[in-house]
Structure 1
């Protein structure tokens, strides 16, 4: 067990190192100069001051030297200072994590449970009208881009039917004290962005759950369970669903990185104050330390989610042994 844990930790560290190096190379290969961006925002800057800024940020050093300095800082859990916000990158990320986790977890869990339920319902009568309706909704949800879905929901549920707010996480007059009124206010603002991000994955989970359930329902052990006289509800939810849900759990873990990427678009559309919005603002301002910090955090989250997926696998199906 200890050897297994040590091996997985070593693999994770090597993967994080590779991700850090690749992110660093891609970010610095992108066009644009942070100092020129700062000069444009401030309304102009002398060449002497630009030279001083490049020296202060270490941008005057060769790229391999910059990479070495950055890797040393990351090893010391120091992600550097933001060029634009003039704050530690770690502080910026920590401040934005709760908003992004709230959005992502709500969207993913809602899509997982609702999508799996719809897939199970569709599998009971594959040729029935309910199954066809669920398939149609799934196809539309899967084909629609996230930003288009967000705009359509804004037009429908915020403009034509003014039911939900379209931006920010709280109302302007909210105290933010964490009481019941504040929780309800955040939940009210969460509906549209969470629904936008979750619809795409709900469609995927429902189609995958339907296909997996149809395959499992034709297995021998299901026929045996029915031959024993077990109730259809017991056969469906206790025996079939536990085996059919494994592919859905796999996709849930593997797609967490895609969810983080989709959160950038959703947070930008709805001005949600999370990591996606921070990444978008940092890209526009060529804020290298903040971009790299957000990418590193997202990579670690994906690694952790993969490990959690393995643990869930062992809980759902005890036959699966860790390797």
Structure 2
């Protein structure tokens, strides 16, 4: 098994890079990115000091080229596309602490330090403005801006990216993306794990009962409920439950939304558990409804198919009790389709659902990622891509391991 897991993990590496590369390139090439939005806002807002306003009716402010260059550097669009992906990964150095300088003119680099770039022919030397000694750790380059003007820039190089757990900074929230993920991800994980456990526990049992009582009134009645649930989106069911069972115009059995009560931190341990259950009931039902019908019908049809096989008839002919035949002989082969589907179910639940989180006002990862998509917050979008890719790959690995465990025809070779 160890060799099999190692092979799958090695296969997951190129899969991970392939998925993230495709998303990265598509997002980078898509029009209307954060740079365009920011430049448009600055132009419509006046552009700040140094802006030139045209007198032509209907025109907008023309921003100084230095402002445009600074914005491109901030969002990383000053680098060619082929460099952006390895920079984002952290395997290619990114330029930090960048300053535009003029030869022979002291430049303040912060903390009361000044440096001077001296030009000797085509060679540039960086020295301390006070001691005149050569300064190490800095690089210098010539470049042309969008207007074709020659510029000299000094900078430092740093390896930082997702492989170093540096996910960047959100331009919308103005804080590191990792902090945002840490505050939102536990919420979505709790809902996802609880919904996953409840869905499989309840749907597997219901599917077994429907297969055993196939054609009975119970089977027809439960099928009607299952298909009604299948036809209702989780977010729509959540909205209906809030109106009917939530506070305000409803019965008031459950809260109108949120993840926990306002006084949660002051509660005792048992009271905290009760508070979570109180807030989790309606959202969990909305989460589970999406996979409720498919899992139940899959379990029922799989068990019905196995109950018609010759080895089951042989077991009954030998005098084995019905419970033993179903739970020992038929169930092992019947849960194979569920095991194969387990990985995708994990991805669906843990990736969260924006619409459900929006309805219940839950500050989860799904809501965060959707808002990042609307605001073109690339740092959050790419981080969400990394998380969903990793969860999907791990889900596929877990699914294969469960499948090999329950199916004797599959071996770890």
Q: Higher strand fraction: Structure 1 or Structure 2?
A: 2
Alignment of 1:254-273 (within 5 A): 254-260=344-350, 263-273=353-363
1:102 maps to which residue? Answer: 190
Q: Aligned residue for 1:8?
A: 8
Flag structure 2 segments of 5+ consecutive residues without an equivalent: 48-62, 91-160
Q: Which residue of 1 aligns with 2:28?
A: 28
Q: State how far apart, in whole Å, the 1-side matches of 2:356 and 2:266 are.
A: 22
Q: Report the count of equivalent residues.
A: 322
User: 2:81 & 2:265 partners in 1: Cα distance?
Assistant: 46
Distance 2:23 2:251 in 1: 43
CA 1:261–1:141 in 2, change beyond 3 Å: closer, same or farther?
Answer: farther
Is 1:160 the counterpart of 2:178 in the alignment?
no
Q: Structure 2 matches for 1:76-91, cutoff 5 A? A: 76-91=164-179
Structure 1's 315 and 287: CA in aligned 2 closer, same or farther, altered over 3 A? same
Query: What's the CA shift string for 1:164-194, capped at 9, x where partnerless?
Result: 2232211122226772212221221111111
1:273 is paired with a residue whose SS is: coil
Matched, 1:173 2:277: no
Query: Is the Cα contact below 8 Å between 2:238 and 2:286 reproduced in 1?
Result: yes
Secondary structure of 2:353's aligned partner: helix
Normalised to the residue count of structure 1, the TM-score between the two structures is: 0.90
Q: Structure 1: which 4+ aligned runs deviate by more than 4 Å?
A: 35-41, 48-51
* Deviation larger for 85-94 or 1-10: 1-10
Q: 2:73 aligns with which of 38, 55, 70?
A: 55
Give matches, 1:1-323, under 5 Å. 4-35=4-35, 37=37, 44=45, 46=47, 47-48=63-64, 49=67, 51-72=69-90, 73-158=161-246, 159-175=249-265, 179-260=269-350, 263-323=353-413
Deviating more after overlay: 24-33 vs 105-114: 24-33
Equivalents in 2 of 1:110, 1:28: separation in Å?
A: 40
- Provide closer, same or farther for how the CA distance between residues 242 and 44 of structure 1 changes in structure 2, counting only shifts above 3 A: farther
CA contact (8 A) 2:203 2:296 kept: yes
Query: How far apart are residue 299 of structure 1 and its match?
Result: 0.9
Deviations 1:189-247 (A, max 9, x none): 11111110111201111101110011011112222222232222222222222221111
CA RMSD after TM alignment: 2.4
CA contact (8 A) 2:188 2:352 kept: no
Q: How far has the Cα of 1:4 moved from its partner? A: 3.7
Whether the 8 Å CA contact 2:89–2:163 is kept in 1: the answer is yes
User: Which whole-Å CA distance do the structure 1 matches of 2:83 and 2:8 have between them?
Assistant: 30
C-alpha distance after superposition, 1:36-76 (max 9, x if no partner) = 555759x9462355652332231333333322311222333
More helix by share: 1
The CA deviation string for residues 138-182 of structure 1, in whole angstroms up to 9 with x for no partner, is 212222223222222222322533222232211122226772212
Q: Which deviates further from its counterpart, 289-298 or 164-173?
A: 164-173
Would you say the 8 A contact 2:302–2:337 is kept in 1?
Answer: yes
Conserved 8 A contact 1:169-1:189: yes
CA contact (8 A) 2:352 2:364 kept: no
> What secondary structure sits across from 1:160 in the alignment?
coil
Please give the alpha-carbon distance, in whole angstroms, between the structure 2 residues aligned to 1:178 and 1:291.
37
Structure 1 residue 119 displacement after superposition: 0.8
- Greater mean deviation of Cα atoms: 136-145 or 154-163: 154-163
- Partners in 2 of 1:176 and 1:208 — Cα distance? 45
Q: Could you tell me the TM-score, scaled by structure 2's length?
A: 0.72
Deviates more, 1:158-167 or 1:180-189: 158-167
Larger radius of gyration: 2
